[in-house]
């Protein structure tokens, strides 16, 4: 199951920090996830097992009027490559587009082939390269998703 977290979902923040650490996503601590949950501009979507509600993935955005930025995204390694990441992102993008978000940006390590493939499959396009963005060695790629115009 996939759901949008609210400030009441603080119980999951340690789990989210653990998933971030284990998967190699942006290394947010429990406290950072807690802060994020309290921000009105932040939207955090979680995926969890339907029966026990055990959370195993998240995707985070900050939304500014009709623009959003994807700030963190991870699936627990044991659950990767089962299309949960794709389902989670699809849910989140549908939600944001329904809230009138028109543009979404994100920044990805150019060597992260899997994440880049997923973003490209959803229509994100490369708009800039940030030279040596990661540890002063690996380039970052800034990607942009533009909502299709309604006829």
3-state secondary structure (DSSP) of residue 33? helix
Tell me which of 29, 32, 86, 90 binds ligand COA, using CB under 6 A. 86
In terms of Cα–Cα distance, which of 55, 69, 57 is closest to 108?
A: 69
Burial (Cβ within 10 Å: 0-12, 13-18, ≥19) of residue 60:
buried
Distance CA 10, CA 131 (A): 36
Distance CA 51, CA 147 (A): 34
Q: List strands edge to edge, sheet with 67-75.
A: 2-4, 42-48, 55-64, 67-75, 103-109, 138-146, 125-134
Q: What is the smallest separation between the CB atom of 82 and ligand COA, expressed in angstroms?
A: 6
Tell me which of 99, 103, 113, 130 binds ligand COA, using CB under 6 A. 113
Residue 35 interacting with ligand COA (CB under 6 A): no
Q: Taking contact as CB under 6 A, which single stretch among the options 5-13, 95-103, 113-121, 122-130 is the one that binds ligand COA?
A: 113-121
Residue 101 interacting with ligand COA (CB under 6 A): no
Residue 25 interacting with ligand COA (CB under 6 A): yes
Nearer to ligand COA, 127 or 150 (CB): 127
**Per rule CB under 6 A, count of chain residues that contact ligand COA:** 20
Tell me which of 21, 35, 53, 83 binds ligand COA, using CB under 6 A. 83
Binding-site ranges for ligand COA (CB under 6 A): 23-25, 73-75, 80-86, 108, 112-115, 117-118
């Amino acid at each position: 199951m996939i759901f949008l977290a609210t400030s009441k979902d603080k119980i999951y923040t340690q789990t989210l920090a653990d998933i971030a650490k284990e998967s190699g996503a942006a290394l947010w601590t429990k406290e950072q996830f807690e802060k994020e949950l309290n921000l009105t501009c932040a939207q955090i979507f979680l995926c969890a097992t339907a029966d026990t509600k055990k959370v195993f993935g998240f995707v985070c955005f900050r939304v500014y009027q009709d623009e959003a930025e994807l700030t963190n995204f991870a699936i627990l390694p044991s659950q990767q490559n089962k299309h949960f990441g794709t389902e989670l992102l699809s849910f989140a993008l549908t939600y944001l587009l329904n809230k009138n978000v028109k543009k979404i940006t994100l920044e990805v390590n150019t060597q992260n082939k899997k994440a880049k493939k997923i973003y490209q499959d959803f229509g994100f396009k490369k708009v800039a390269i940030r030279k040596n963005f990661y540890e002063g060695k690996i380039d970052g790629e800034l990607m942009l998703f533009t909502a299709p115009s309604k006829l």
